Each structure stands twice: as structure tokens, then as C-alpha cells.
Amino acid sequence: MKKTKRAALEAHGWRVGSVADFLELTPAEAAFIETKLALSQSLRDRRTAAGLSQAALARRLRSSQSRVAKMEAADPTVSVDLLLRALYALGARPRDVASSITKRAVAAA
């Protein structure tokens, strides 16, 4: 947000903060959410780079297309375990997973 816009909002009594502030997340909760978002985005990127549809990835995972869609949307019902298994099924290595998490953390900072 531009400094001038922020100053104008604050001058009118608005408080400007982050989503973590608004939701009163602990640093650990915020980090977990950012990690899950990074894994979900990495899954989508790898799937599209491989030229696979969600349905094709679902078959590979013995799951459903709707479940893959939820995985890519970082749906709260999707576990980090499932995201990791899907990434590894697409050929990701542990260092690739770590890199995707690190890239998101750097971009968010």
C-alpha cells in the first residue's frame, strides 16, 4: 500500500495491518498458512508444467479431480502430508519443496 494512502486511512481512524493481525494469528499459525500456500502453488505450477490436467493428476494419486482442485486452492481440509505426497508424485525432491517454501517467504517479506 502506498504511504500516502496509508497515512490518509490512519488519519481517518482506520488501522492498517496484515491479515495475520486481523485474524490474530500467532507467528507459528501464520508461518503454517504461508507454508501450505507455498506447497499448493508449487503443486499447481508443477502439474501445469508437466502438462497434466487435474483429473490426470488425480488418477496418478488415486484421488478425485475435486480433491486436486482443493489441494491447489490450499483448502483447509487438505493436509500438508497430502500436498507433499502429490508434489513427490510429480517428481519434486525435498530441496524443490524447501525452495518453493523459501521463495514464498522471501516474496512475502
Q: Is the pLDDT of residue 19 over 80?
A: no
CA angle centred on 37, ends 34 and 38, rounded to 5°: 85
- Looking up residue 86, the CATH number of its domain turns out to be 1.10.260.40
* Distance of alpha carbon 75 from alpha carbon 40, whole angstroms: 9
Residue 19 inside a domain? The answer is no
84 lies in some domain:
yes
Cα 81 to Cα 31: distance, rounded to the nearest angstrom = 16
CB crowding 1-29: b at 16 or more within 10 Å, else e: eeeeeeeeeeeeeeeeeeeeeeeeeeeee
Global pTM? 0.79
Over the stretch 22-71, which tens digit does the pLDDT of each residue have? 888 898 998 899 999 999 999 999 999 999 999 999 999 999 999 999 99
The whole-number average pLDDT for the span 81-99 is 96
Q: Number of structural domains, the chain?
A: 1
